[in-house]
Chain A
Amino acid sequence: MEKFSITTRSVSRFLILCLVFMGVHVAAARAQIVGTEAALNSQAADSGNRARLHTFLERKEVRHQMLAMGVNPQDVSARVNSLTTTQVADLAGRINKLPAGGDLGGVLFVALVVFLVLLYTDIMGYTNVFPFVKKHAR
């Protein structure tokens, strides 16, 4: 079993490399039109294959994060592909930290309860969450 998983891993690594170089290859064979995105960034030097590989890996990471966040596997590809290079870079590794707009119903009251509980425990000297609560020596 152990051997099998190593084989699987090396095969998948090989496939990743194939995919990366296939992408590069296809790009090279494409018409030589400079895209609008590139025209916008034309102050920066032609970033080439290294940047493309970097973006490829970032997209892969975002895909994994989205799956881990419970996104339906059928929806993940379209979502990752709809992101620009900049957006992918912004998202990679930060899906857990960026603000996620959610509900205002239930969440608010849990927040209020947590707040009041912590405030109470702070005043009683059990916790030290809020700097504005004056603590007395115990």
Chain B
Amino acid sequence: MEGVAGCGQIHRQNVVDMASEVELIQGERRRRSVRCLPVSPGASLRHRAAVGFVLVAVLLSGCATTPQTDSVRASTQFGHQISRVSGVPFFAQKAYQCGPASLAMALNWSGVPVAPEQLTPQVFLPKRKGSLQIEMVAAARRNGRIAYVIQPGLPSLLTELGAGNPVVILENLGLSWYPVWHYAVAVGVNVAADEVILRSGDAARQNMPLGLFERTWARSDDWGLLVLPPNRLPATAEKRPYLRAVAALERLNHFHQAHTAYTTALRRWPDSLVAQIGLGNTCYALKELACAEDAYRKATRLHPSSGIAYNNLAQTLADEGRLVEAVKSARQAVALGGPLAATFRGTLAKIETRQGAGASKEHPRFGNGHARQHLSSSGVDGR
């Protein structure tokens, strides 16, 4: 069983006792690391002890080196970086609820007014007493936001903070063999002063030394999540991962947000076929056929070798009742072929059948009923 599960709550009395013990063990080091502004006396003690424990853990795990911190300090790009993300509210976590709390902070920053309690049923696993990364990503998307996992490494994190984007991070405050997984939100950094600023647990502002942050973060393979409104591209955005994040919104029927995001993506990557297709697909899903046609036509112009562009254009034209043009476009898709050739042939067959049925005024043959039904039910048949 994992460390997170099966660990119960313990009494505040014990907390205080252990805290003073940790302070004794830590001595000088404790004073250096605990600079946070406590929110309450109890939180302060617990918090100090937490940081203290991490230091003990790091010490005992053999004083791992911190290559990322060293190179960031030495670099001209990051060496003097002082960033502070504004507009990130703070929600103190309830027991085991650092997932919902962290996600709520990021979502509120991105313009979705949501309380941690509303997110608990979306991400929390009661028996694990925690929340999984995959579900944090999925829940951000459920709330209509782009969930983008950044590239591992301090440079990515610092770049995003510099661009004013808060980053939900997963740390392992324990050891690799005794994990204590914890979500927090990185909201600032001051490289020269050796601190990463986090909203974490009970602390609205926790200042963590860079090296300590690097070690606790490295155990989650530097996992960092951006939760962004669809008109805002990550500073470190890469084309395919970003488009994957947007396409996932379509599955959740957030077509308006996905449409905006594809438009945003096309501004950065004007030659992206997938973004152009996605733009058309969101229009089509919103039943804006003229908009879909425009997007697909542009895709066929910019990417004349894409069967998908011709196929989707054909389907849209057919829905608009322009069957002659539709057949022409569908034939082009079939001619181009590729891995989706079977789908293209299906499109052509359906449109041709419909054309034939319309011309000879015959009843549709057995097996074509569904296509006809769909096309008439979309309300554009008789246009």
Contacts and interface: CB of A to CB of B under 8 A. Distances in A.
6 contacts: A33-B284, A46-B343, A95-B125, A101-B131, A102-B96, A103-B129
Q: Among the interface residues A31, A37, A43, A83, which one has the most CB atoms of the partner chain B within 10 A? A: A31
Given A32-B315, A38-B340, A109-B18, A102 B277 contact: no
Contact of A109 (B15, B139, B374): B15
Contacts of A34: 277, 308, 311-312, 340, 343
B98 interface: yes
Which secondary structure dominates chain B's binding surface? helix
Given A35-B281, A79-B135, A100-B132, A108 B180 contact: yes
A33 B283 CA distance: 12
B97 interface: yes
A109 B14 contact: yes
B127 interface: yes
A62 B141 CA distance: 19
Contacts of A35: 247, 250, 281
Contacts of A87: 134, 137-138
Given A35-B250, A110-B7, 14 more contacts: A35-B247, A36-B274, A39-B278, A45-B339, A46-B339, A70-B125, A75-B122, A79-B122, A101-B130, A102-B182, A103-B201, A106-B8, A112-B22, A113-B18
B173 interface: yes
A36 B245 CA distance: 11
Interface in A93-122: 95-115
Contacts of A70: 125-127
Interface string B359-374: 0000000000011011
A46 B4 contact: no
Interface residues of B, number: 98
A28 B97 CA distance: 43
Contacts, number: 225
A95 B130 CA distance: 11
Contacts of B311: 32-34
A101 B99 contact: yes
A137 interface: no
Contact of A100 (B2, B14, B284, B350): B2
Nearest to A74: B121
Interface stretch (B32-40, B45-53, B65-73, B104-112): B45-53
B176 to A, nearest CB: 11
A32 B247 contact: no
Size class of the contact patch on chain A: 35 or more
B243 A99 contact: no
B138 A30 contact: no
B170 A101 contact: yes
Interface of A: 28-40, 42-46, 66, 68-72, 75, 78-79, 82-84, 87, 90-91, 95-115, 132
A102 B350 contact: no
B252 interface: yes
A29 B374 contact: yes
Given A42-B339, A100-B181, A111-B180, A68 B308 contact: no
Q: Among the interface residues A83, A106, A107, A132, which one has the most CB atoms of the partner chain B within 10 A? A: A107
Contact of A31 (B14, B15, B342, B374): B374
A40 B246 CA distance: 11
B172 A99 contact: yes
Contacts of A33: 281, 284, 311-312, 315-316
Contacts of A40: 240, 243-244, 247, 274
Interface in B104-153: 121-122, 124-139, 141-142
B251 interface: yes
Contacts of B56: 112
A111 B2 contact: no
A132 B93 CA distance: 36
Given A31-B374, A34-B340, A109-B18, A98 B132 contact: yes
